[in-house]
Amino acid sequence: MPACIAACIARARTDSFRPALRGLAAAVALTAALTVAVAPGKARAADPYPSKPIALVVPFSAGGPTDVVARSLGAAMSKHLGQSVVVENKTGAGGTIAPAYVARADPDGYTLLIHHNGMATAPALYRKLSYAPLKDFEYIGQVADVPMTLLGKKDLPPNNTAELIDYVRKNEAKLNLANAGLGAVSQLCGLLFEQALQVKLNVIPFQGTAPAMTALLGGQVDLLCDQTTATLPQIAGNKVKLYGVTTPQRIRALPDAPTLQEGGLKGFEMKVWHGVYAPKGTPAPVVARLTAALQAALKDPAVVRKLDELGAEIVPPAKQTPEGLQSWLKAESDKWQPMLRKAGTFAD
Ligand code: ASP
């Protein structure tokens, strides 16, 4: 286990009562000071919150799919909050360093997390996790769903999914499959691919999609399954080989690309969802203010255009809420965790 994870876990253990105390103190202070402002799109000068920049922590490297969504969302939220929302990339351990950091941050609305399916899968992939996704956070809302694409390096011989299946079965020992870290959705997609074909490839984890993609473009790895938010430009530039999309239906951003199911991978289905979280104990008026800013941002034409261009689909309004995120996280945890525990694939 990397030293930083051990240190984080040790620190989290000694800190285990602090989030509750900090939450209480913050709530008392804010109850006295906060002017509740939940009206979307109105950042009033008199509001004590937010009075300084807000950090939006991304668990993966800059330039990757989660980062791209975070930057677009953060810029639009800052317009509605009247304060900068600054993206911070805290990478490592398959995206578990960032939630551990945010779970221990002051619950004052100035440190937020954006994360994907990893919030539902990490408890089954990491035996030692210093945070509980269903207990240690306040939920701001869901953002957007993003399809994934299965890619090969440009000169990989197979030209379609059927040929790929055959090629992988014959060459499994020599093929390198990149991912964005153990616990990343790209790892999950790779795992589903290996399971569907009953093969074991050489899995190479990176700190995020950005470095994994660089390795694919450079030909150091053979395969990568990742979100359209990062892969569309490489596909459009003909720099990689596209085998298919992971959704059950073809997607608008890549109308000619077959689904992996069409290519012969029956039942193969994966979509990436994103949510915004705050540390447990963040006062309800602050959560409401952040949810309103998130909802306003998801109507912002710049965000709508950017996400659409990248193949992402903004979630319906009912999901852009604390309840929408919390109940979805619970459902996804119930769906994936037993499956992953059964597979016995641990990341630590
Ligand atoms: N796409 C990555 C993943 O597989 C994360 C990222 O770099 O944003 O989880």
Q: Which two tokens stand for residue 222?
A: 């053979």
Which CA distances in Å does 245 have to 34, 101, 187, 262?
47, 33, 16, 10
Structure tokens at 96: 């578990």
- Which token pair is 292? 């309103």
| Residue 10 Cα to ligand 1 middle (Å) | 26
Q: CATH top-level class for 147-245?
A: alpha beta
Q: Report the greatest alpha carbon distance in the chain.
A: 68
User: Which residue is it, tokens 């909802």?
Assistant: 295
CATH 3.40.190.150 intervals, the chain: 54-146+272-343
Q: Rounded CA gap, 9 and 3, in Å?
A: 10
pLDDT in tens, 192-250: 899 899 999 999 999 999 999 999 999 999 999 999 989 999 999 999 999 999 999 99
- For the stretch 117-144, pLDDT in tens is 999 999 999 988 999 999 999 999 999 9
Q: Rounded to a whole number, what is the distance in angstroms from the first to the last CA of the chain?
A: 6
Residues with a CB atom less than 6 Å from ligand 1:
60-61, 64-67, 180, 184-186, 208-209, 226-227
Kindly report the protein residue whose alpha carbon is nearest to atom 9 of ligand 1: 184
CB 229 within 8 A of CB 114: no
* pLDDT band with cut points at 50, 70 and 90 for residue 14: very low
Look up the pTM and report it.
0.82
Where does the chain hold its CATH 3.40.190.10 domain(s)?
Answer: 147-245
pLDDT tens column, 143-163: 999 999 999 999 999 999 999
Q: Respond yes or no on whether the N-terminal peptide bond of residue 50 is cis (omega within 30° of 0).
A: yes
Do the Cβ atoms of 240 and 153 come closer than 8 Å? yes
- Between the alpha carbon of residue 120 and those of residues 126, 193, 284, 327, the distances in Å are 11, 20, 23, 11
Most informative mutation of 185, 191, 203, 204 for ligand 1 (most atoms within 8 A of CB): 185
CATH of 54-146+272-343, one of 3.30.930.10, 1.10.30.50, 3.40.190.150, 3.40.50.80: 3.40.190.150
